[in-house]
């Protein structure tokens, strides 16, 4: 048991406790991954069968690293027998094994967000609905939240309160869209990410023999980042653990920051209610940050009411105080941060990798990018377009998807005429209509025009049939050829490589597209080489890995020497010697959208806590007095969060001064209500909450162009245009943080601030 000697006393106690319900609350930088890893190794050394262990991690990368570390302790063969991975990767395998029970093929495709929105866009168009009222992204968000709360399309359509909310939001067809979306996905043999959890719950609910099998297979369950689980994930864990209750959850309620994705902090706060006999361990020693940073972070998070108390401490040196910097404008803020980095890097001769600029929203990166470029400081923005979302990569992946599942309608529509085969848009639309009329897939239609007549000329039908023959040839090799051999053949036989090679002379962008495809093929070759002759890694295996990549898997900082620019959400799980937390202004951070309830504001505070605790040696907070937004310069106030830090740990620059505005929590005590009361997605809140009016709200007839007004959701703004009469009167209002909005006044509940 020598490896346990590497742990401190608290860590060791948590790692040695093997049976019953256990919760490990791990403060920032306290070594929770090591505890989880050593606990599993200790279990195996105590003759617990690794086949009986289920470990659910936050990223696939974390699962691989843990498996390797466990393997180095107990042996690689033993480590490989553990079922370990993200919720989506583990349960997608269970669903593939049981797909026929729920009406899916075992080679089902996994749609990404772009695919799902494309399907929804088609449905909205087919229903002849206004895509401005029914924005695909908003519709997708609402469907996603319904699934995460296990609300089926049928239940959605039958719930009177949900229907009322949709009617008030002028989206009465939402239920019909949800129903059609689920049917379209099933017809295409496809699931989206939410379906992987939704259908796992359906499988365990409707097939008790399946639940019984996995309850007795997974006698020991470990869950990392438990504070980030949603209702669907919570229910899966609870069902699986019901037989033995050997469940260990690890997390930190102070770092619960994903409610917009459906994460429910109540899961970790209520663990003791689910398992009254549980054992609690707290990891409170921080190994990452200086004392000043740790104590400052403690003073931040203690303002939250909903939390599990802990006292994080460190034996590290005191370090510098957190610096607060005030700048006149957001552009000056960018120059200030770039200058600090340039000066510090020059003096200490450290790597640019040691610096990170964190912000609340992606749009804030511009001024920092410009300032860093001017000083020739290398940087990379994380959270932009990922490698697998680039057009040329999506095109080739669509061919791979068709080889695995030719019923995948989104993949088929994407490449049936790419590279160009003279199969026009009208012909493709006729194929879609025919598939819908015959209640079958597009693939079935193009494979048998005799059975499914379509009004397309013979020349086009011939070209479509040639395309289908090519896909069938790829399909025949999907489970026999190794991943790279088939991928290379598809890239060449489809015409994609020729298309990209021919375009290389057109400019640097085309060269980059070709290089991206080469990089993809190189990655597939590496994947193929990691298999063996008896059990080669196939292209279907590779596609499964790609489909299950999380944001964190795709966007980890590289070893190249550059400053990292990213949102605070993207920074979770990372650490940097020097952190610059920028845009520390009211209505930006905390976000204006978080000021409607205490729970929302507390999540913003947890996000601030996460940002500060990314810093190892130095942390700088900066804010601008004015910020240029939507074509206008607006005045800004420093964030209340700066004022909430114990001043003993702050150092104000010569341009800054202590804020001490004495802001209180009054006004943030309200609780959410609504028909979808378990849903945390803002798009699913009851409209009653969003349109709650002040007692001083104005009569819409009093509002005129030029008036300054306040809206409950969008904040303060100026009326720039009026149109319509009576009940149909609308106002166009410019909101500094949200741009121009055209609002029907009878529903707006605006407050007139003055009559200038």
What residues are labeled active site?
32-33, 224-225, 255, 614
**Two tokens, residue 585:** 């202004």
> Max Cα separation, the chain?
81
Element (H, E) at 167: helix 160-168
Residue 148 and residue 230 in contact, taking contact as beta carbons nearer than 8 Å: yes
**Two tokens, residue 16:** 């040695």
Strands 83-85 and 53-56: parallel
Residue 581 and residue 619 in contact, taking contact as beta carbons nearer than 8 Å: yes
Q: d(Cα 85, Cα 89) in Å, to the nearest integer?
A: 6
CA neighbours closer than 13 Å in the CB half-sphere of residue 617: 9
> Which among 485, 482, 476 is positioned nearest to 538, based on CA atoms?
482
Residue 709 and residue 694 in contact, taking contact as beta carbons nearer than 8 Å: no
Tell me the CA distances in angstroms from 335 to 328, 343, 344, 556, 586, one per residue in order.
11, 12, 14, 26, 21
Q: d(Cα 278, Cα 292) in Å, to the nearest integer?
A: 34
Buried b (16+ CB within 10 A) or exposed e, 619-632: bbbbbbbbbebeee
Element (H, E) at 432: helix 425-437
Strands 615-629 and 632-635: antiparallel
Strands 715-723 and 708-711: antiparallel
**Two tokens, residue 615:** 């810093």
**Two tokens, residue 355:** 């610096």
Q: d(Cα 684, Cα 594) in Å, to the nearest integer?
A: 15
SS3 content of the chain, % helix, strand, coil (to 5): 50, 15, 35
> What is the number of residues in the chain?
756
> Which among 419, 406, 422 is positioned nearest to 471, based on CA atoms?
406
Is 376 buried (19+), middle (13-18) or exposed (0-12) by CB count in 10 A? Answer: exposed
Residue 713 and residue 730 in contact, taking contact as beta carbons nearer than 8 Å: no
> Which among 150, 148, 144 is positioned nearest to 178, based on CA atoms?
144
Element (H, E) at 576: strand 576-581
Helices (H), 476-538: 483-493, 496-503, 508-529
CB atoms within 10 A of CB 537: 19
Q: d(Cα 711, Cα 747) in Å, to the nearest integer?
A: 11
Partners of residue 716 on adjacent β-strands: 710
Element (H, E) at 314: none
State residue 100 phi and psi, 5-degree precision.
-60, -25
């Amino acid at each position: 048991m020598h490896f346990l000697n590497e742990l401190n006393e608290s860590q060791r106690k948590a790692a040695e406790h093997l049976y019953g319900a256990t919760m490990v609350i791990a403060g920032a930088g306290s070594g929770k991954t090591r505890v989880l890893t050593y606990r599993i190794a200790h279990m195996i050394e105590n003759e617990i069968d690794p086949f009986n262990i289920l470990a659910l991690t936050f990223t696939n990368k974390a699962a691989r690293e843990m498996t390797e570390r466990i393997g180095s302790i107990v042996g690689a063969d033993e480590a490989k027998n553990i079922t370990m991975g993200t919720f989506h990767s583990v349960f997608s395998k269970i669903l593939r094994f049981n797909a026929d029970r729920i009406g899916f093929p075992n080679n089902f495709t996994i749609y990404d967000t772009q695919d799902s929105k494309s399907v929804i866009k088609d449905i909205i168009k087919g229903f002849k609905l206004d895509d401005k009222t029914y924005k695909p992204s908003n519709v997708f968000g609402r469907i996603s939240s319904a699934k995460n709360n296990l609300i089926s399309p049928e239940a959605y359509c039958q719930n009177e309160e949900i229907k009322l909310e949709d009617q008030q939001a002028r989206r009465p067809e939402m239920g019909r869209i949800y129903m059609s979306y689920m049917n379209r996905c099933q017809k295409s043999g496809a699931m989206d990410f939410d379906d992987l959890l939704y259908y796992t719950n359906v499988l365990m609910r409707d097939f008790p023999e399946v639940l019984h099998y996995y309850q007795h297979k997974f006698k020991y369950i470990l869950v990392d980042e438990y504070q980030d689980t949603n209702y669907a994930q919570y229910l899966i864990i609870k069902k699986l653990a019901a037989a033995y209750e050997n469940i260990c959850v690890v997390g930190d309620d102070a770092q619960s920051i994903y409610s917009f994705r459906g994460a429910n902090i109540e899961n970790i706060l209520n663990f003791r209610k689910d398992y009254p006999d549980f054992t609690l361990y707290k990891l409170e020693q921080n190994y990452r940050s200086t004392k000043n940073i740790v104590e400052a972070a403690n003073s931040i998070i203690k303002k939250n009411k909903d939390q599990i108390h802990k006292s994080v401490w460190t034996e590290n040196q005191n370090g510098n105080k957190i610096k607060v910097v005030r700048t006149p404008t957001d552009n000056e803020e960018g120059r200030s941060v770039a200058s600090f980095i340039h000066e510090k890097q020059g003096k200490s001769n450290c790597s640019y990798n040691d610096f990170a600029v964190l912000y609340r929203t992606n749009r804030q990166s511009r001024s920092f990018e410009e300032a860093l470029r001017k000083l020739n400081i290398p940087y990379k923005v994380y959270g932009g377009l990922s490698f697998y979302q680039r057009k040329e990569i999506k095109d080739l992946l669509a061919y791979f998807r068709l080889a695995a599942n030719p019923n995948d309608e989104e993949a088929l529509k994407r490449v049936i005429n790419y590279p160009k085969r003279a199969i026009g848009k009208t012909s493709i639309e006729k194929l879609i209509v025919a598939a819908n009329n015959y209640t079958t897939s597009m693939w079935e239609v193009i494979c048998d025009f005799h059975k499914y007549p379509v009004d397309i000329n013979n020349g086009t039908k011939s070209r479509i049939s040639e395309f289908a023959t090519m896909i069938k040839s790829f399909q025949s090799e999907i489970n026999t050829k190794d991943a790279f051999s088939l991928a290379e053949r598809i890239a060449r036989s489809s015409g994609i490589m020729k298309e990209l090679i021919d375009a290389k002379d057109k400019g640097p962008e085309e060269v980059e597209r070709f290089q991206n495809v080469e990089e993809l093929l190189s990655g597939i070759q590496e994947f193929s080489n990691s298999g063996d002759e008896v059990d080669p890694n196939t292209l279907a295996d590779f596609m499964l890995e790609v489909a299950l990549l999380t944001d964190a898997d795709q966007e980890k900082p590289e070893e190249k020497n550059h400053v990292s620019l990213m949102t605070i959400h993207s920074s979770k799980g990372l650490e940097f010697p020097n952190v610059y937390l920028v845009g520390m202004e009211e209505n930006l951070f905390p976000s204006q959208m978080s000021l409607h309830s205490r729970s929302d504001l507390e999540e913003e505070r947890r996000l601030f806590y996460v940002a500060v605790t990314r810093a190892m040696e130095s942390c700088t907070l900066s804010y601008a007095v004015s910020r240029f937004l939507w074509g206008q310069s607006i005045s800004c106030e420093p964030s209340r969060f700066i004022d909430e830090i114990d001043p003993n740990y702050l150092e104000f620059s010569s341009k800054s001064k202590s804020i001490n505005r004495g802001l209180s929590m009054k006004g943030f005590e309200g609780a959410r209500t609504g028909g979808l009361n378990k849903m945390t997605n803002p798009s699913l809140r009851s409209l009653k909450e969003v349109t709650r009016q002040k007692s001083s709200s104005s009569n819409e007839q009093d509002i005129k162009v030029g008036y300054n007004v306040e809206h409950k959701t969008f904040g303060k703004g100026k009326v720039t245009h009026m149109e319509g009469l009576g009940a149909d009167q609308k106002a166009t209002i410019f909101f500094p943080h949200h741009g121009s909005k055209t609002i029907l006044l009878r529903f707006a509940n605006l407050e007139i601030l003055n009559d200038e």
